[in-house]
């Protein structure tokens, strides 16, 4: 019986220790939940299903009559159009959720037709606009 009492006492102490850890960590966990969501590419974990097997398609082929070209958001050139803003894709192997990335976003030119730019003016977030 004494062994059982010692085991119960040890378990109660462990529960108190775990509760103290939760109480200590909870504010930081709550604060992190209000932060922007990290990407699957950064986490290597699916934000939708929690899957931890993530596939990367470094370049995605766009199959044309002339053959495969990189799938891109725009093209450039007068005689021969070349893809600009080629895409890569990160895919959750469990649920199929996909994140697309432009490999070299600095190559994109804002022309107002194919590519438009939208920004948020942080200085203009007050209630009186």
Residues binding Zn ion (CB under 5 A):
46, 48-49, 51, 92, 94-95, 97
**Spatial contact of 87 and 104, defined as CB atoms under 8 Å apart:** no
Cβ at position 6, least distance to Zn ion in Å:
45
Cβ at position 101, least distance to Zn ion in Å:
17
**Spatial contact of 75 and 109, defined as CB atoms under 8 Å apart:** no
Choose among 80, 56, 79, 58: nearest CA to 70.
58
Q: Say how far residue 39 (Cα) sits from the centre of its chain.
A: 1
For Zn ion, which is the closer residue by CB, 48 or 82?
48
Q: Say how far residue 109 (Cα) sits from the centre of its chain.
A: 24
For Zn ion, which is the closer residue by CB, 88 or 107?
88
Cβ at position 42, least distance to Zn ion in Å:
15
For Zn ion, which is the closer residue by CB, 46 or 74?
46
Within the chain, residue ranges assigned H as helices are 2-33, 40-43
For Zn ion, which is the closer residue by CB, 9 or 38?
38
Cβ at position 96, least distance to Zn ion in Å:
7
């Amino acid at each position: 019986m004494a062994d059982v009492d010692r085991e119960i006492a040890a378990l109660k102490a462990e529960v108190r220790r775990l509760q103290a850890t939760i109480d200590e960590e909870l504010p930081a966990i709550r604060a992190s939940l209000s932060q922007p969501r990290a990407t699957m590419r950064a986490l290597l974990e699916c934000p939708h299903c929690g899957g931890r097997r993530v596939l990367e398609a470094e370049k995605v082929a766009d199959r044309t009559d002339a053959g495969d070209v990189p799938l891109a958001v725009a093209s450039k050139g007068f005689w021969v159009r070349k893809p600009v803003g080629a895409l890569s894709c990160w895919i959750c192997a469990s649920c199929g959720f996909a994140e697309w990335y432009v490999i070299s976003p600095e190559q994109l030119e804002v022309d107002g037709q194919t590519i438009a730019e939208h920004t948020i003016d942080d200085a203009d977030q007050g209630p009186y606009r």
